[in-house]
A and B are shown apart, each in its own frame.
Chain A
Amino acid sequence: MSEFEPICEKCEERLQPFLDRELSEAERLEAETHLAECDYCGKRYRFEISLRRYVRSCCSEEMSSELKAKLANLRLAE
């Protein structure tokens, strides 16, 4: 990777709709063609994917067994 990597914003606007599969077929193909040859955008796309995964794992908190038992009791109390 070069120290003077040129800044590229070509795919920035399409990042979220691309990952969310909201682009039209033509737009998607265009983005894919660009991503195949642009390391700058490619890195940022891969970063976004790992960020989403990371947010999900950091923000997933399991419920306590006490709460689970309380919920089951709500059912029996009826």
Chain B
Amino acid sequence: MAEAETDARRLATEARDRVRFEEEALGLADQVYRVARRLVPSREEAEDLVQETYARAFRSWRSYTPGTNLRAWLMRILTNLNIDRGRREQRAPDMQPMEEGDYFLYNRLEETSGPADEERIVERLSQDSIVEALSNVPHDFRDAIVLVDIGDFSYQEAAQILDVPIGTVMSRLHRGRRVLKSELAESAVSDGDEP
């Protein structure tokens, strides 16, 4: 019964590989969620998106090559699902994001509330204003910021996940950070205007 034995062994190996895959994938869930939460506007949508991602990942685990980057593989599924479902809010076509130079936000903060320790001056920005400013960054730019700055993906990984050349990731990242800072400068100024 050598054949049956081989079959049994093959099944056992597959079951073991599968369990290993699932455990490894679940171990990355916190990181996957953290990115998902900033790619979509609400917590509910982020939770749905992560669930759909894992459902699909568990179904198609065989297409993952062991030893390759599972975190990026999961994120690729997630960003594709996000695009497929048309979840990403559309930006009005005529709205060009405002971009200022890279010193602009610091200068503005110094102007509105006086000089301070440059490492503490960020604390003049509230957590809510940071979250809101990021959500106002157009999604192409924001995806790059979220993957690299919040998800800790390398430029190369972000390029693979978004399916764009690495130079595009860089330029979106740089422009996105400038837009983010312009948004923050605006909110810092309007907060300062309040009585």
Contact = CB atoms under 8 A, between A and B. Distances in A.
Interface of A: 1, 9, 12-13, 15-17, 20, 22, 43-44, 46-48, 50-52, 54-56, 58-64, 67-68, 70-72, 74-75, 78
Which DSSP category, helix, strand, loop or mixed, fits chain A's interface?
helix
Given A67-B47, A71-B50, A61 B119 contact: no
A70 B51 contact: yes
Interface stretch (B75-83, B86-94, B124-132): B124-132
Which DSSP category, helix, strand, loop or mixed, fits chain B's interface?
helix
A46 B119 contact: yes
B34 A60 contact: yes
Contacts of B125: 54
A78 to B, nearest CB: 6
A31 to B, nearest CB: 13
B8 interface: no
A44 B150 contact: no
Contacts of B191: none
Nearest to B152: A56
Nearest to B170: A22
B150 A12 contact: no
A63 B50 CA distance: 10
Given A12-B103, A43-B106, 8 more contacts: A16-B173, A17-B174, A20-B174, A54-B123, A55-B149, A59-B130, A63-B50, A71-B50
Interface residues on B, range: 35 or more
Contacts of B101: 9, 12
Contact of B30 (A63, A72, A75): A63
B164 interface: no
A52 B131 CA distance: 13
Contacts of B51: 67, 70-71, 74
A44 B106 contact: yes
Contacts of A67: 29, 33, 47, 50-51
7 contacts: A46-B118, A46-B119, A47-B118, A55-B134, A58-B127, A59-B150, A75-B58
Given A58-B130, A59-B131, A78-B59, A44 B47 contact: no
Contacts of A64: 47
Contact of A44 (B34, B37, B103, B120): B103
